[in-house]
Amino acid sequence: MMENRLGAEKGRQSEVSRQHGLLEYTKKGNGGRISVTKFKRRIEVSGKFEEDTSALDDPGGGQGGSGASTHLKVVGPAARQKSLSEFDIYFTREYAKVNELIENGEAKFFEIKSKYGHITHSAIKRKIQTKIGGVRYYDLISPYGYGGPVIHEHTNRAKLISEFKECFSIYCANNNIVSEFIRFHPVFQNQKDASGIYDTTYVRQTVGTDLKRFEDTFQNEFSRTARTKIRKRLRDDRLSFHVERGFENIESFIDIYNKTMGRHDAAQFYYFDREYFYALKDQFGGDMMTISVRFEGRIIAMGLYFLSGDIIHDHLNGTDPDYLEFSPAYLLKYASMMWGVKNGYSLIHYGGGVSNAADDPVLHFKKRFSKHTEFEFHIGKKIWNREAYNKLCDMRGMDKNREFFPAYR
């Protein structure tokens, strides 16, 4: 019989700074206990809450807002995330830092705390190669995956958003930021709060498996085709799957991931350097998981996942092209579903397709495991300096109204 290991338990996260997926926090003295609300579950974390005293690199950071206590804090990339109020791994400072390696820029983490609430925003600041009158300009983009401003707590949502807009506008003006492109988070729908700042557009669906809605997730979320393929493979004693907490088998994953990119003729961007994968391990460690499918002991498919709050993010996958006939990708989905249910998670989010087409084959495949669970994916565009934007387009001979954004790239 097949030995399928589902024993990697959902352990207690090791550090306060690792408590992703949190909606709010309170602190009670320097040595007190911190009360945290994590989705619908209440937990307590012992330890000290440290105020971030990182120096500001925003010349205008003390301006704007409705009171002297309001300011935009731009936290340097070397600083450690100390706040407990992260919704999701994609919103963290550490995730932005890792993505410097693939976005060719500098990670920036922005934060506002005022009487109206708490909002954060992470981005990659990229150099624009073309200078204007000898002056260097920059643009901002979400780290690979999802991003955008996210509200952690508020007493007045509208005024908090207004403060962010005013302070962030000052930052962009003082730091020669020309434009910004955001991929909003489909699960948290944070584009709703940002629609008064950015030009937001619905792009496509993303999908996932709801692990809480049904008594039998496999029967209700997986299509008949998927269930048939999976049952057939589960009867094959040559096949097994293995779930491992952490990211130890990096080289095996890189090898099989790159084979998949080659099979799909993927753009060079998607061939991530080894440094990127090792940085993921260093930053997130136990908040990651790998699943491998093996044929007679040989790894023929692997999946890399983020464990964030009650959500499992299906981050990257790879399949050995010589073993496609055994449908190992189906077993990856089955194993992640089974492990997630057993360990109390609420959702596996798979993302969307590789294009915006309704018949995108990648999205079509993912929908086989998502009969009832869909999300709307939005992007955001903002031109912070229209004069510089138009000038850059003219200098590079680009139509400033073309669909690609920013048009000068």
Distance between CA atoms of 301 and 241, rounded to whole angstroms? 9
CB 117 within 8 A of CB 152: yes
Residue type, 170: I
Max avg pLDDT among 10-14, 86-90, 137-141: 137-141
Considering only residues 25 and 264, tell me which one the structure prediction assigns the higher pLDDT.
264
Strands 106-114 and 117-132: antiparallel
**Quick one: pLDDT at residue 265?**
85
- Full set of structural domains in the chain with CATH: 16-205+378-395 (no CATH), 206-376 (3.40.630.30)
Considering only residues 294 and 80, tell me which one the structure prediction assigns the higher pLDDT.
294
- Residues 38-89 have pLDDT tens digits of 222 222 222 222 223 333 333 333 333 333 345 566 654 343 343 333 469 9
pLDDT over threshold 70, residue 370: yes
Query: In whole angstroms, what separates CA 124 from the centre of its chain?
Result: 13
pLDDT over threshold 80, residue 298: yes
**Quick one: pLDDT at residue 15?**
31
CB 384 within 8 A of CB 120: no
Confidence label for 34 from pLDDT (cuts 50, 70 and 90): very low
If you average pLDDT over residues 361-373, what whole number do you get? 96
- Residues 98-129 have pLDDT tens digits of 999 898 999 999 999 999 999 999 999 999 99
CB 3 within 8 A of CB 297: no
* Closest CA relative to residue 120, chosen from 144, 145, 96: 96
- Backbone angles phi and psi of 252, in degrees to 5: -65, -40
Q: State percent of the chain over pLDDT 90.
A: 73
Distance between CA atoms of 313 and 87, rounded to whole angstroms? 13
Distance between CA atoms of 312 and 349, rounded to whole angstroms? 6
pLDDT over threshold 70, residue 389: yes
pTM to 2 decimals? 0.80
